Chains A and B, each alone.
Chain A
């Protein structure tokens, strides 16, 4: 079937995009994800599949190129890192409001401001709570390996088209830059214009034929009653995501007295902590949200009564912890631990924090 390769996460996401039959990529260089655009330019996907790759003049332009191309029913993708993603926000809000499918990856770096170029998970709120203006949600996937960086491209597009909603792959400089074995899927053909027409003629701006009224891509409605109705419709989609498309992984959770909840890079580190803790006889499990929105609320909620404490591990000052507390209705002692600003916690540090929690201490913030 697939092809085995040793690749960086950033290269894997780029190669997976070509193989998934993506039609266009628009981006602007920023560390730690510049390899995506570099890899695509090197690979010349225009020759391989006809995929368009363009370096935009800014992130403002890049996200609006995505908006334009997605308006015509094409599979479009972009990647950036934190400061660039901040510039994307107006465009993402428009994309969500106009209900356009696309995949956006954020290879997060330390902030705020220009911050650092080292890995961070401090863009959790921005990714999961909307990010730009207005009431909207992105479907957010958090890969924990180079393999998932590749796999989530296609998974992301499936969701993006199921809901006509932007999907974010929230990753960080560690996964983006590290090399791992990855199994790449076989090349998928790009959709033909006829196929797109069949799927999207009811909404996409691909030219008004006599068979239908004109299609309009817009997020504007000056009639607030209609705008509220549109918002109801958007909210309904988000509720459906929460019912149908939550993803998570549970490791050694069945007999657990304690849980570590962590996603992406932090879940990799926590996995090591888990082994160290189990060797010491601590019954701890690792709960890894794969979708950060929709957050696995119900799955975590069922640990009420089973576990005595939860350690939320995130390379941030504590963002994920808020969703965990909501999920367990504050009925479990939940504490946050994490290094941030580009620093990465070690498995031992996480273990110490876990033992503090177990011994009735407080990890503070």
Chain B
């Protein structure tokens, strides 16, 4: 059979959303950033929100997210995305506003902005990409770097006594009354992608209903920073990241899941 006979509308099973531009992704092959971008854009497309959404991407590997996300976007300073998003949402309460932040951004330099935006219950969505490392600057230790993990600034492995403990910021912000929905997901397998997308969808639905801050962490890989080929990086993530950062909902409908 000729390929031309296969490429027909009725045989179409998957199509790139028009909310992703056609620019070639600048992420390392195998990096989770691209998939995370795609599910957010697909969700906005499905909800018909392109014309009403403003994204905020701060410094980090995803600083150029605006090259790929076909919506109005603001590039923010390192750590300040939740404050920028607050400025947008407070003056444009009818718009949908989300931030897309790395772990260094959200849980180190921007911890104060993260906690206070969550605590005020800003009606925004925070998408948090936790890859346990500073990707953009070449693989230095992040607040989420695991114990013993080797990075450019912890070449002998993270020493908890001198370098502090990996920070479970997501559990921390889930304690705040301003957060309404808090979930931790991943995008390394088709089923994980589907679940993550559901969580993103729920996050924007909550924003639509003005219920408070919705927060979706995506535990992701950084093959370049971890110095592992993509498949091995994903396996390392499953073996090491997931036990410390377990996937699943942490807070639903304003209530902690499994709260004692």
Residue numbers of A with Cβ under 8 A of B are 23-24, 26, 52, 54, 56-58, 60-62, 64-72, 74, 76, 90-91, 94, 98, 205-210, 214-220
Contacts and interface: CB of A to CB of B under 8 A. Distances in A.
Contact of A69 (B50, B63, B77, B87): B87
A205 B91 contact: no
A68 B79 CA distance: 13
A208 B116 contact: no
Contact of A64 (B51, B72, B87, B91): B87
A213 to B, nearest CB: 9
Given A64-B84, A214-B72, A54 B90 contact: yes
B95 A206 contact: yes
B174 interface: no
Interface stretch (B52-60, B138-146, B149-157, B244-252): B52-60
A209 B52 CA distance: 8
24 contacts: A26-B87, A52-B90, A52-B91, A56-B83, A57-B116, A61-B86, A61-B112, A64-B87, A67-B77, A67-B84, A68-B56, A68-B84, A68-B85, A68-B87, A69-B88, A71-B74, A90-B77, A91-B77, A94-B77, A205-B88, A206-B54, A210-B51, A214-B72, A220-B63
Contacts, number: 129
A1 to B, nearest CB: 29
Given A56-B83, A94-B77, A205-B54, A69 B71 contact: no
B227 to A, nearest CB: 24
A220 B74 CA distance: 11
Nearest to B58: A64
Interface of B: 50-54, 56, 63-64, 66, 69-77, 79-80, 83-88, 90-92, 95, 112-113, 116
B90 A218 contact: no
Contacts of B56: 68
Contacts of B84: 64-65, 67-68, 71
Contacts of B66: 214, 216, 218
Contact of A207 (B63, B72, B85): B72
A207 B92 CA distance: 10
B75 A219 contact: yes
Contacts of B86: 54, 61, 65, 68
